[in-house]
Amino acid sequence: MTKTFEIPPRGQWLRLWSALPAAPIKALADELAGRYQVEDMALAQSGLGLMPVTDSALGDTYFIGEIPLASAHVRLANAESGQTEGAATLVDDRAGVARALAILDAVLAAGWSGADAASQLLERGAAALDEQTRQRRALLSATRVDFALLGTAGEDDDE
| Residue ranges of the chain with per-residue pLDDT less than 50 | 1-2
Q: How many Cβ atoms are within 10 Å of 14's Cβ, its own excluded?
A: 20
pLDDT computed for residue 80 by the predictor? 87
pLDDT computed for residue 3 by the predictor? 60
pLDDT computed for residue 1 by the predictor? 45
pLDDT computed for residue 112 by the predictor? 95
Angle CA 110–112–113, to nearest 5: 160
Question: Residues near 115 by Cβ (< 8 Å), separated by ≥ 6?
Answer: 107, 108
Q: How many Cβ atoms are within 10 Å of 30's Cβ, its own excluded?
A: 11
pLDDT computed for residue 158 by the predictor? 53
Which pTM value belongs to this model? Answer: 0.80
pLDDT computed for residue 38 by the predictor? 96
pLDDT computed for residue 44 by the predictor? 92
H or E element, residue 85: strand 82-90
pLDDT computed for residue 52 by the predictor? 87
pLDDT computed for residue 154 by the predictor? 55
Beta bridge partners of 68: 48
Residues 51 and 85: their CA atoms lie apart, in Å, by: 28
